Structure 1
Amino acid sequence: MVLVASGSSLNGAMMVAQYLMKATGKNVITITPESILAGGALIDEHSFVIVISQSGASTNIIAALKYFQDEGIETVSLTGNIESPMREYSDRIFDYGVGNEYVDFVTMGVQTLVEFFLMFGLALGSDGISESTLKDLGNTIRDQDTVINTAEAYIKKHKLQLAQQQPAFFVGNGPNYGVAKEGALKFQEALKRPAMYYEPEEFLHGPDMQLSPDYTVFLLDDLNTASRFDEVFTALHLITPNIHFVTSRYFSEKVPNDVINIPGASSSELVPLLTLPVIQLISAEMADIGQTWETTPFFAEFDQKIAIKTQDYQKELKSIQQEWEKDQQK
């Protein structure tokens, strides 16, 4: 199975790739359209190719679809808008249930995509959909309310620390590596703040050497007992006070001041459903507090020169925003 995506859609695909491999017993790779066009994967007519774009209007995604079409490779497209330009180049196209958004970068789409693929994996699994698996998934989704309340309380308590504009690291393993990548992206998009993402051991093999007391590090814990998050968390305090540890390790114990303590998931594959909302909420609320949503006038000129969406995309965004504003007034 090949998942082709870009930006937040790629990050969501990375969060579920391990789960899909376990559910289907098949190899799953995530890859960008650029890598496809550069010949970065062995894909042929026997490959099961899923192309993902919430807007359905990303020019690089459409370029990849054209490539597959020219090569005689069938594709299945997932989008929030089945009437979007990618429809013309897709063999089959499905709405994965999120719709489109009027902000110019994804917010709801990642979470919805992860939930879609979890259900997709259940349906494809060789053992079918078991009651226990559905129960675990349902419990994890219900725990998101607790996660949001916990994150909001943490933001209120640490907002001055979180408001710093110095570089940030996001560190995560397995499915949480996709969350780390999404966290860095959201800090760049919403907070206009330099941010990087790594797996823990990669972080410890060089990138950590640039740390100084004003750097921020987000540690996204998982259920992998081989990972050294607790050791890294303790050691980082020797360099910087700006550490935020998203974990369930302290759920029944006294919680340290810089820990965002969330409920535990039944498996590591479900952990992104609990860690992702924390990062999204921090990014959104700190962007509101810091008033960092707007880009500079220089970027507006750049954006006009380098189009990443099809021609009518901005008109569609305005239409969606107007509909949303009407709904809010009702």
Structure 2
Amino acid sequence: MSGTTTMLTYVQETPDQLALNLEQSTCLTQSLVDAWRAGSYHHVWIIACGSSFNAAQCAKPFMMKYLDVDVQIVPPTSFLLYKNLLRDDDFVFTISQSGCSTNSIKALDKIRELGHTSIGLTGNLQSDFKDHADILVDYGVGSELIGYVTKGVATLAEFLMLFALEAAYASGRIDSAVYQRVRNEMAEVPSRHKVVQEASLDFYKRNRAMLTSMTVSYHCGFAQGYGVACEGALKLGETIKVPSFAYEAEEYIHGPNLQLTPNYTVFFIDDFENGSDRLYQIFYATNAVTDRCFAVTNNPRIDDSRAVRLPFDIREPRLTPLYALPFYQTIAFKATDEIGCWKQHPVFEEFRKHITSKTPTIDKVMPIDH
């Protein structure tokens, strides 16, 4: 319907938000960069779940490269229960787009309990996060009130990359030439995002029958490609409501592949870097079992009918999630809309009666958050 805001609306708004956040990157990341520079850190812990976890996974290879430290991403409840052996040189922060996720709020309190500064990244500074964080950071998502989150994933991944770049530059880990070279390519991300949006719509039209008849889907990649695959698996599971699983591509062929039948749909996300050749080999082997194989790749050995291309001068492959994400976001929306499966099964309401993952404030600040 004309004039109706949908999930796809926010996909289409994403390039402008990415451009704005890049332009304002020094100011946007300042408080987090200051916190980083206040200590001598050798390890980053990111506490996040759902799409925030996946956005962090998309940004992780970039962060490791430019900060030159290990980055660990931990679900909040794992952090609360056992995975919380923080050292003095560990830099830790918690993310929730809505700022109302109960497990993330508890993680903020746990960080304080462990003697560290409680840092919260959110898309809403008026949320419950404000009462539990020593430092509250708006990562620049803007407004996103219709599920399932799309703009929030890309803007969070970009923010984490910008933080790493700004912190690395401010602390002298990279020089001005490297800093400017990366920023120059980041300035191309919004236009690349729009190209991939169009390519994904075309891909959907060409493969509509398969994409609207999925039963089980696998999503595979290495490094930054794996980050995109994680978000793809979540999006298709949330929207189309088929079992969807993300695997590091080599891990996929160590057991999960044994389930393969011609009915399985398998997506491969190229990292456009060291994993490309191996990913193609795994794609080729999978294609011998099912012709429902697709890829985001520039590998010429994969037929155009099965691929979405990134026809750009990719100088920094670790930026690719910022403009590869609309592939999944677009097909998730289109297939769900055509099939008409936005609503959960009616019996799912019984689940909601027994447990919740958000504070009551969610209804006031951000109706949809994952």
TM-score (norm 1): 0.90
Q: Which amino acid aligns with 2:297?
A: T
Partner SS for 1:143: helix
> Cα distance 1:45–1:74, how it changes in 2: closer, same or farther (>3 A)?
farther
Instruction: Report which stretch shifted further, 132-141 or 186-195.
Output: 132-141
Aligned CA distance change for structure 1 residues 292 and 96 (closer, same or farther; 3 Å): same
Partner of 1:25: 68
Q: 1:259-298 counterparts in 2 under 5 A?
A: 259-264=307-312, 265-298=314-347
SS at match of 1:28: strand
Task: Compute the displacement of 1:202 (Å).
Answer: 0.6
> How far apart in 2 are the matches of 1:131 and 1:179?
25
Please say if residues 255 and 261 of structure 1, whose CA atoms lie closer than 8 Å, have aligned partners that are also in contact. no
Mapped contact 1:211–1:239 kept (Cα < 8 A): yes
Q: Indicate if the aligned counterparts of 1:54 and 1:99 stay in contact, CA closer than 8 A.
A: no
- Structure 1 residue identity aligned to 2:281: E
Task: Check 1:133–1:317 CA distance in 2 against 1; reply closer, same or farther (3 A cut).
Answer: closer
Residues 135-171 of structure 1 show CA distances to partners (whole Å, capped at 9, x for unaligned) of: 1222233211111111111101111110113100000
Partner of 1:257: 305
Whether 1:189 and 2:232 are equivalent positions in the alignment is: no
Pick which of 269-278 and 198-207 moved more.
269-278
Q: Which moved more, 1:131-140 or 1:175-184?
A: 131-140
* Equivalent of residue 107 in structure 2, options 40, 45, 64: 64
SS of corresponding position for 2:304: coil
Query: How far, CA to CA, are the matches of 1:36 and 1:230 in structure 2?
Result: 36
Aligned-residue Cα RMSD (Å) equals 1.9
Q: Indicate how the Cα distance of structure 1 residues 234 and 15 shifts in structure 2: closer, same or farther if over 3 A, else same.
A: same
Q: Which residue of 2 aligns with 1:123?
A: 166
Among candidates 237, 240, 244, match of residue 290 of structure 2: 240
So what's the TM-score if we normalise by structure 2?
0.81
Unaligned runs of 5+ in 1: 321-330
Deviations 1:71-108 (A, max 9, x none): 22212211010110011110100111113532354221
Q: Is the partner of 2:66 in helix, strand or coil?
A: helix
State yes or no: 1:199 paired with 2:248.
Answer: yes
- Output the CA distance in 1 between the equivalents of 2:175 and 2:93: 21
Amino acid at match of 1:22: K
Which residue among 262, 280, 292 is the counterpart of 1:230?
Answer: 280
Fraction of identical pairs, as percent = 33
1:171 aligned residue: 220
Task: Sort the Cα spacing of 1:140 and 1:249 in 2 relative to 1 into closer, same or farther, 3 A.
Answer: farther
Aligned ranges 1:1-16 → 2 under 5 Å? 1-16=44-59
Is residue 53–residue 73 contact of structure 2 (8 Å, CA) maintained in 1?
A: yes
Residue 157 and residue 42 in structure 1: after superposition, are their counterparts in 2 closer, same or farther (change >3 A)? same
* Structure 1 letter corresponding to 2:327: V
> Residue 176 of structure 1: CA displacement?
1.6
Q: Which consecutive unaligned segments of at least 5 residues does structure 2 have?
A: 1-43
Structure 2 residue aligned with 1:77 = 120
Cα contact 2:272–2:297 (8 A) shared by 1: no
CA distance in 2 between partners of 1:225 and 1:67 (Å): 38
1:52-86 CA-partner distances (Å, limit 9, x unpaired): 11000001101111212222221221101011001
Deviations 1:87-133 (A, max 9, x none): 11101001111135323542211001111122112111122553221
Do the aligned residues in 2 keep the contact of 1:236 with 1:243 (CA within 8 Å)? Answer: yes
Summarize the Cα distance change of 1:119–1:173 in structure 2 as closer, same or farther, 3 Å threshold. same
Q: CA deviation at 1:224?
A: 2.9
CA change 1:254–1:316 in 2 (3 A) is closer
Give the whole-Å Cα distance in 1 for the aligned partners of 2:302 and 2:234.
Answer: 32
User: Partners in 1 of 2:126 and 2:120 — Cα distance?
Assistant: 12
Cα distance between partner residues in 1 of 2:352 and 2:142: 24
Report the secondary structure of 1:257's partner residue. Answer: helix
- Cα distance in 1, alignment partners of residues 365 and 351 from structure 2: 21
> 1:215 aligns to what?
264
Aligned residues: 317
Which region of structure 1 is more displaced relative to structure 2, 82-91 or 272-281?
272-281
